[in-house]
Amino acid sequence: MKAAGAEATVVYLHWGEEYKWKTGEGPNANQTAMAQKLCDMGVDVIVGGHPHVVQPVDLLQSGTDAEHKTIVLYSMGNAVSNQRKEEMQQSDPTGHTEDGVLFCVTFAKYSDGSVCVDSAELIPTWVNMHANSGSTEYNILPLEESTAAQWQAQFGLTDTQLANAKASFDRTQALTLAVDYGEFDMLREVGHTAKRMSEGELLQIEKARRLNITEEVYYDVIRGKTASLIGACTAVGAISVGADKATVDRMRELGLLCGMAFQIKDDLFDYTEEKIGKPTGIDIREQKMTLPLIYVLNQVSKDERKWMVNIVKRHNKDKKRVRELIDFVRSHGGLEYAEAKMNAFKDQAMDILSQCPSSQARTSLEEMVRYCTERKI
């Protein structure tokens, strides 16, 4: 399919056995075998119908491609349906035929042309069948957890209908939470980070040609090249333990701030006299515009600026000239300015952690923040 030009593949199947929702009954062996076969063929999303009850959602690993996964919803349950529990011929009428789901899948297309599942969301629905002026009326109600307290007023439900809606929501949640949705969030986080890192590297290459990096552009570069990677690590850590979006966002911001401080510390090493495993002046020789250098360039006279740029552009291999430039930056406050900015990022990161409850995890993260600014290598 993809070999023939399809960017993404979604398969809808009429399969399975009616009313089978219990563990071990639905999905049946034929459904799971077919789903795995489609996963191995490269299908991205599988959606099923026919059982008239919601069946579990799962995330399958391809047996032919270690990097490919398929999300499968074995049955979406019912939408408009007259199959009420009291009308079904089964020994234990449970109400599962009132249940359904809206399945929302978002695809992302990356700069290399690849397309993959970016996110997947299931919204439980409930078939509200009721009498209205002598006629039977259906309403398909989306039961979003964030508005649970407003369901009765929002949908005009009686107390009995509200109780049935809540029971439907609980049933569907129990069946569909088996899949680790966080894994999609992790994949998205990593994918976006790779994109940001590439953009940061390209931005640095572009500006290095003209040596016209401003302080703001410098922050954009290191946010993409270095900080986004650490931000992804802290965000994925939060995702892996089921943290809510607000917490994930805070942890990502924590990592970004650490990354900014980490990179500025790395810049400072270029001007140190200590043996750290990184040659002094290497950034200048590679025409990398670091924060101490950028600051001084914006503080000195036009002639001094021209002299500095000339060394970076034309004499960056001359050890004596590079040494002169390092001493010039040091004597004009470049290191002190960069250290102040580095510590400002560190303080912002510590402020985020101060809002977290005391724990071993918080202590470890505080140590990580301090390491970013106090490290010797």
Mean pLDDT by 10 residues, the chain (377 residues): 83 93 85 96 94 90 88 89 64 76 85 78 87 83 85 88 89 69 65 75 74 86 91 90 86 96 92 67 84 94 92 90 93 95 97 94 95 87
User: Which residues, 6 or more positions from 218, have their beta carbon under 8 angstroms from its beta carbon?
Assistant: 289, 290, 291, 294
Contact 93, 123 (CB under 8 A): no
211 with 340, same domain: the answer is: yes
Q: Is 226 helix (H, G, I), strand (E, B) or coil?
A: helix
Give pLDDT, residue 285. Answer: 85
Residue 336 lies in a domain: yes
The Cα-based distances of 176 to 96, 147, 153, 172 in angstroms read: 13, 19, 26, 6
Give pLDDT, residue 325. Answer: 93
**0.85 surpassed by pTM:** no
Contact 228, 193 (CB under 8 A): yes
> What tokens does 301 get?
């006279």
Find tokens 């970016």 and name the residue.
Answer: 118
CA 292, CA 257: separation in Å to the nearest integer? Answer: 18
State the residue range of the domain holding 18: 7-179
How many domains is the chain built from?
A: 2
Helices of type H across the chain: 29-40, 151-155, 159-176, 182-210, 215-222, 228-240, 245-269, 282-285, 291-297, 302-314, 319-331, 334-354, 360-374
164 with 235, same domain: the answer is: no
Element (H, E) at 124: strand 115-132
Closest by Cα among 242, 10, 145, 357 to 365: 357
ω into 27 cis (within 30 of 0): yes
Give pLDDT, residue 17. Answer: 93
Give pLDDT, residue 188. Answer: 66
Q: Which of 151, 179, 207 is the last residue of a domain?
A: 179
In sequence order, the β-bridge partners of residue 48 are 13
Contact 130, 161 (CB under 8 A): yes
92 with 226, same domain: the answer is: no
174 with 189, same domain: the answer is: no
Instruction: Specify whether the backbone of 275 is left (phi greater than 0), alpha (psi in -120 to 50) or beta.
Output: beta
Give pLDDT, residue 214. Answer: 87
138 with 237, same domain: the answer is: no
> What tokens does 86 get?
């009291």
Residue 2 lies in a domain: no
82 HSE (CA, 13 A, CB side): 3
Q: Which of 179, 211, 236 is the last residue of a domain?
A: 179
Give pLDDT, residue 108. Answer: 81
CA 123, CA 102: separation in Å to the nearest integer? Answer: 5
